[in-house]
Amino acid sequence: MKVLAAVAYDNQPQFTIEELDLTGPGADEILIRIAGVGLCHTDVKALAGGMGVPKPIVLGHEGAGVVEQIGARVKKVKPGDHVVLTYDCCGACAACNGGNPAYCQQTAALNFRDGIPRDTGLFRRISGPPAGEAGAEIRGHFFGQSSFASYAIARERNTIPVRKDAPLEILGVLGCGVQTGAGAIINSFAAKPGDSIAIFGVGPVGLSAVMGGVACGCSEIVAVDVLESRLAMAKDLGATKTILASPQTKASDDLRRLIPAGVNFALDTTGIAQSYLQAIASLTTKGTFGFITIPAGTFEPNLGQVMLGGLNIRGIVQGDSVPDKFIPHLLDLYLAGRLPFDRLVTKYPFRKINDAVEDQAAGKVVKPVFTFPI
């Protein structure tokens, strides 16, 4: 079928919007008409040639929409259902079987490479140059969805049915950014009322973590960032204290002035090794440091400090989300007014995708969501 998609080509810094032919759905697949799709930092990294994502490809992994058609073996959803798409997982490895699908052993293949070899869910060019030859194949299956398109193909494992009394076009952000941040606090840290947390970097994921801290009843929620505007937003969303970070100061010293004993949990969303060290230095005895991205630069924690403090350091993927349970839970929190993630969102018509990437990089918006029709 004909779809409109944003294609990431090799050596092109921007997306190219064009009409493509999409194959499928196969017997185990679901065709979804996309209502809206969020922009995540991972899309931007992949566009820039990062993470070994093969090109040309249709990116996008925070899609939400309406089920249009299902394959013969699909039982989980039916046409007309509202769904949020999330990361893909195999459902058969030790991690998946142990209830930890975010740590699936097939994560890299299913989300960043070509997934399960199949001839559905792939795109083909309809028109010819300038960008490429007519008929040339464009890869799909990014995070099992490639939802920077008017229609996407996904499987049961990463298609999550949701209630219909919610603004569908913005719900896709629950499938990655929001579940990563809020899930880190709610699931990974399992923060309890009265716990104290610090969030290093309050972009979309960090602000979701702030909201997660509020939902958990944390008594102190410290937001650390280099942008005043982001700190103001964190405060609006429930941060109890803010720290303006700079290369000249140590955020952990600032934090200790505010909370001398340190915090129970510190989360880094910046991916900067120096920030990881500051987060660890902000912990109280037996505190836990969590990180959601592999740091740029060398990370050399002071293991004496880690051991003598009884500290934990742990990696967190997708906020330990079990999407079938956690995404509907986040949506319930939102509709109860306890997780106002819509305040992070700025909507753009899909055609403005490149403007949104620029605006986000410039710090003008927090979380772009592209809506259809375009």
Q: Does 243 bind Zn ion (CB under 5 A)?
A: no
Report the site for Zn ion in 165-184 (rule: CB under 5 A): 176
What is the C-alpha separation between 109 and 260, in angstroms, rounded?
45
List Cβ neighbours of 13 (8 Å cut-off, separation of 6 or more). 47, 48
Smallest separation, CB 110 to Zn ion (Å): 8
The whole-angstrom distance between residue 227's C-alpha and the CA centroid of its chain comes to 21
Q: Does 53 bind Zn ion (CB under 5 A)?
A: no
Q: Does 275 bind Zn ion (CB under 5 A)?
A: no
Chosen residue from 17, 44, 93, 259 binding Zn ion by CB under 5 A: 93
Q: Does 20 bind Zn ion (CB under 5 A)?
A: no
Smallest separation, CB 192 to Zn ion (Å): 27
Smallest separation, CB 105 to Zn ion (Å): 5
- First CA to last CA distance, the chain: 18
What is the total count of residues that contact Zn ion (CB under 5 A)? 8
Nearer to Zn ion, 6 or 218 (CB): 6
Chosen residue from 5, 42, 198, 372 binding Zn ion by CB under 5 A: 42
φ, ψ (nearest 5 deg) of residue 341: -65, -20
Chosen residue from 59, 83, 96, 251 binding Zn ion by CB under 5 A: 96
Chosen residue from 104, 110, 173, 239 binding Zn ion by CB under 5 A: 104
Q: Does 226 bind Zn ion (CB under 5 A)?
A: no
What is the C-alpha separation between 281 and 279, in angstroms, rounded?
5
Contact 267, 312 (CB under 8 A): no
Nearer to Zn ion, 93 or 306 (CB): 93
What is the C-alpha separation between 18 and 344, in angstroms, rounded?
28
Smallest separation, CB 2 to Zn ion (Å): 27
What is the C-alpha separation between 67 and 149, in angstroms, rounded?
14
Cα dihedral across residues 72, 77, 79, 85: positive or negative? negative
Chosen residue from 40, 77, 199, 277 binding Zn ion by CB under 5 A: 40
Nearer to Zn ion, 136 or 361 (CB): 361
Q: Does 369 bind Zn ion (CB under 5 A)?
A: no
Alpha helices (runs of H) in the chain, residue ranges in sequence order: 41-47, 94-97, 107, 177-183, 204-216, 228-236, 251-258, 273-280, 303-308, 323-335, 353-361
**Which stretches of the chain bind Zn ion, using CB under 5 A?**
40, 42, 89-90, 93, 96, 104, 176
